[in-house]
Amino acid sequence: MTDPARLFCGWDEREAIGYAVFCHSVIEHASIPVSCTPLASMGMPVGSNAFTLSRFLVPWLTGYRGMAIFMDASDMLVTSDIAGLAGLFDEDCAVQVVKHPDYRTGHPIKYRGTEMECPNMDYPRKNWASVMMFNCAHPVWAGISPETLPDLDPLKLLQLRRAEGNIGELPAEWNRLVDEGQPYGKVLHWTAGLPAFPAYADAPFAGEWREARNRALRGA
């Protein structure tokens, strides 16, 4: 029997509906077994959401073995078969991401009108870490654990480990920042706020998110 693809999904109780809709969207399109594991803070410092730092614990959670995928999840929708993403795994890379060169947000505030509202700052590699395919066995991850991670800046983690050349690139369609003007893709990502939030009810492709929510609610 084929082992399930391991998908770690960012979870924040304030976006719980988004998490549920995301997982349903993964399963309804999947042609392979897939396990969806919610990932909250795990005691790590939090940022604009609960899993800002804990996402980098995925290799540790797997025992530093095999391939695993992380997605922000709670503000995303999958529109295609996750097997297509898993099939892009490159064991020569420490991690593979969708790179967004020269990306600057058009939303200076995130999560408007909610208790999560906060500044939406620009920084190098913004949103690269929102979809990551890990080679958990790569030596760059050795020793990264709940005890050591808080002392590292996750955005500079691979630089600190001298592994810049081991950041592989995924096709852009696997992390479309649709509320930043990017086109439809295999993963739709609303970076500033989920369409469930009133301020983002008219965001690009919000109607598709609501249709996915309705399918999840009726179990069809």
Q: How far is CA 140 from the centre of its chain?
A: 20
pLDDT of residue 28: 95
Give backbone dihedrals phi and psi of 6, rounded to 5 degrees, phi first: -95, 115
Higher pLDDT, 1 or 152: 152
pLDDT of residue 151: 66
Q: How far is CA 143 from the centre of its chain?
A: 22
Q: For 173-191, how does the pLDDT look when each residue is reduced to its tens digit (9 = 90+)? A: 999 999 999 999 999 999 9
CA distance 68 to 66: 7
pLDDT of residue 160: 46
pLDDT of residue 157: 58
Q: For 56-101, how does the pLDDT look when each residue is reduced to its tens digit (9 = 90+)? A: 999 999 999 999 999 999 999 999 999 999 999 999 999 999 998 8
What's 141's domain CATH number? 3.90.550.10
Mean pLDDT of the 109-126 span: 91
Q: For 135-164, how does the pLDDT look when each residue is reduced to its tens digit (9 = 90+)? A: 999 988 888 888 888 666 554 555 544 556
CA distance 183 to 177: 8
What integer best gives the mean pLDDT of the chain?
90
Domain range for residue 73?
Answer: 5-218
Q: For 28-53, how does the pLDDT look when each residue is reduced to its tens digit (9 = 90+)? A: 999 999 999 999 998 887 888 889 88
| Domain count along the chain | 1
With a pLDDT cut of 90, the percent of the chain lying above it is 72
